[in-house]
Amino acid sequence: MEETSTMPDPSATPAPPVPPTPPVPLSALLAREDLALRRIAGPVAPDTVIHWAHTSEMADPYPYLLGGELLLTAGVHIPEAAGSGTYFDDYVSRIVEAGGAALGFGLAPVHDTVPRALVAACDAYELPLVEVPPRTTFSAVARAVWQLMAQARHAELRRVTEAQQSLAAAASRPDPVPAVLRQLAQRVGGWAVLYGPEGTEPTAAGRGAEGAVVDRLAELSAVVRPGDTLGPTPSSATDTAHGTHLAAYALGGGQGFVLGVATPRRDPGDHTIASVAAVLLSLLTGEHRSGSGAARSAALVRLLLGASPEDVAPLVGEGPWVVVHAHPAKDGTAPDAAAASALGAALGSALVDAGGDVVRVLVPADREVPPQPGWTCGVSAPADPHAWASADLQAARALARARATRTALARHAARPGLAELVPQEDAASHARVLLAPVAGTPALTDTLRTWLSLHGSWDRTAVALSVHRNTVRQRIARCATLLGTDLDDPDVRMELWFALRTSC
């Protein structure tokens, strides 16, 4: 039977802007009176959420699920003697194994009632089972899911926007660092702490956290602080301790400051809000604690008087650096000074050139350069002062490639070489971090591994996995979105293949 889905093909639509669309609580869908849905089996858990709706009449829907679905079926696939064997146990167990969030069973025209054996199987495997009445179409259920997602996303975007405004206002207060921390703690409903260099003299705000959580957050902050560790230092890290969600963000400027955040839950917009606070704190700690503003003015004067970049570089900070070229994402729009300054603040750098049609920013290489809303960006490879001119050309070429391919950001060299990952412990650690966004969904990692092994062939991968080629496209597109990378880049494919082999 041909597979159908209420989800659009992710490969045909652009990735949603940050923050991502929040999932929909199943309870919110059940509360819709126009649908008249009724939960008849499975746990009554208020935290059950669904990410999309999917219709399938396959006896084994596992190959077509990504995880988090409300799977809708009219029971066409159910054989007449199903109730006397293990058919329903097998069917439900495969849905649970694929990560399905709930099962919706439509009454009429095939079945007048939900089979009792299916109810028992859903109770046994703790899968919520929802009865869909005859007058409610599956399309109406899918439409309701998208409506609830749109409402949740609008509310989350409004929360993030209000938080950004309040954080910016806090940064202009006479005591900007404590004010930003207090506002951040209030907006995420938790605890925020700023660790100084080497983890000393923390400044905290918000509801106090228990000792074990504080200790774990301090340990997590050391993970993102540059030190004597092998390989690159991540700019952020997350963990969970005693039911509390933890996150640590390395501040830019090379001063060794780290922002730590502890929250009772992790909402979709929390990372964006914390990232804004980290940018503001980077500017505050960098400018006011190191006097770098005066040093940069001195560097500019020396360059104008004929000094070499190598002589000037120590005044603006330790290298290496990356060059970022940015152009407004909307065609025909020229960057203005205010937009260029805001871009520099978002990237954590005051070294901004807003001349011409392209904004150029010089950013310390130890600071992550993520895609910027409203901008198309090209990023060079890390370069020392003597290679700044070459890095400028690399960034220009990367921007041209990003604009040609209609991607938000392109890098000349997105990742470190594999030679740095040869030690087994480092390779395993790198693989865990790189594959973390997809590691919890075996269907995605298996598809990615098979697809890479077959050199990106959609048809051969579909045959190898016994799924439809459109399913392969959807899963690979989902991997690209979650990993935040360009799977058409051969360097990216090589590193992912290395990581997948390491994680086997």
* Tokens representing residue 38 in the block: 């009724």
pLDDT of residue 227: 57
pLDDT of residue 336: 62
pLDDT of residue 1: 36
Residue 293 confidence (pLDDT) above 60: no
Which domains are assigned to the chain?
10-150 (3.40.1390.20), 172-290 (3.30.450.30), 292-411 (no CATH), 418-503 (1.10.10.2840)
What percentage of the chain exceeds 90 in pLDDT?
A: 23
Q: 51-65, 139-153, 419-433: which range is least confident on average?
A: 419-433
- Phi and psi at 53, nearest 5°, equal -110, 145
Average pLDDT over residues 206-212: 75
pLDDT of residue 112: 92
Q: Express each pLDDT in 471-490 by its tens digit.
A: 989 999 989 888 888 888 88
Q: How many CB atoms lie within 10 A of CB 232?
A: 14
Please state, rounded to an integer, the average pLDDT across all residues of the chain: 81
pLDDT of residue 114: 95
Q: Within a 13 Å sphere around the CA of 6, how many CA atoms are in the beta-carbon half?
A: 21
3-state SS record for 3-54: CCCCCCCHHHCCCCCCCCCCCEEHHHHHCCCCCCCEEEECCCCCCCEECEEE
Give the pLDDT band of residue 18 (cuts 50, 70, 90): very low
Alpha carbon distance 100, 94 (integer Å): 9
Average pLDDT over residues 297-326: 71
pLDDT of residue 420: 45
pLDDT of residue 54: 94
Q: Express each pLDDT in 83-95 by its tens digit.
A: 778 999 999 999 9
Give the residue carrying structure tokens 């340990």.
219
DSSP letters of 76-94? TT--TTGGGTTHHHHHHHH
Alpha carbon distance 287, 361 (integer Å): 17
Q: Express each pLDDT in 122-176 by its tens digit.
A: 999 999 999 999 999 999 999 999 999 988 888 888 888 898 888 888 887 766 7
pLDDT of residue 94: 95
CB distance 53 to 70 below 8 Å = yes
**Residue whose C-alpha is closest to residue 70's, from 20, 112, 125, 7:** 7
pLDDT of residue 250: 85
pLDDT of residue 416: 47
Residue 440 confidence (pLDDT) above 60: yes
Q: Express each pLDDT in 400-415 by its tens digit.
A: 878 877 888 988 854 4
